[in-house]
Amino acid sequence: MKANGHWDDGNPVVLKRGHSINELVKEAHDTAVNKGWWDKEPSFGEVLALIHSEASEALEDFRAGMQPASFRYEEKTEGGLLLTHANQRSVYWKPCGIPSELADIVIRVMDACGHYGIDLEKAIAEKMTYNATRPQRHGGKVL
């Protein structure tokens, strides 16, 4: 289910030690496909806009006074109704805050890479190797 910009079926994803980046790419994309996010294929621009929207949500949390490493949790609702499980009053908690939004950015990037067939491990390794050769604060930009 996607609610408030988050994929969630109530079952936590447990990352196993030793998962490669490309295994996580496959898992993120498979989840997005299974949840219907590719039923009508968005344009590449829309995919980038969704990645950007997660960064904007992190910025809004910061502007509201949240600290970068601060987690918070909200009761998960759908249509204003508190979600319950198996007719019990079990409350699910939605992770929120800057760490959650940064995770959403990575998940959306991995989903895009899975869809477009991008080898994210290779791209990261190549870019980090190249960046290590660049001069101090290359480009002379202030920000």
For residue range 10-27, what is the model confidence (pLDDT) as tens digits?
Answer: 555 566 677 899 999 999
pLDDT at position 142 is 77
Residue 106 located in a structural domain: yes
Which of left, alpha, beta for 70 (phi over 0: left; psi -120 to 50: alpha)? beta
pLDDT at position 81 is 60
pLDDT at position 19 is 85
pLDDT at position 71 is 84
The boundaries of the domain holding residue 37 are 18-129
Q: What is the pTM of this model?
A: 0.78
Cα gap 103→108, rounded to integer Å: 9
Residue pair 93/74 in contact (Cβ under 8 Å)? The answer is yes
Residue 8 located in a structural domain: no
Residue 93 located in a structural domain: yes
pLDDT < 50: residue spans in the chain: 1-9, 85-90
Residue 70 located in a structural domain: yes
Residue 109 located in a structural domain: yes
Residue 92 located in a structural domain: yes
Our count of domains for the chain comes to 1
pLDDT at position 129 is 96
Q: Tell me the backbone φ, ψ of residue 106, rounded to 5 degrees.
A: -60, -45
Residue 46 located in a structural domain: yes
pLDDT at position 73 is 82
Helix H segments across 8-142? Answer: 21-34, 44-63, 98-116, 120-131
Residue 27 located in a structural domain: yes
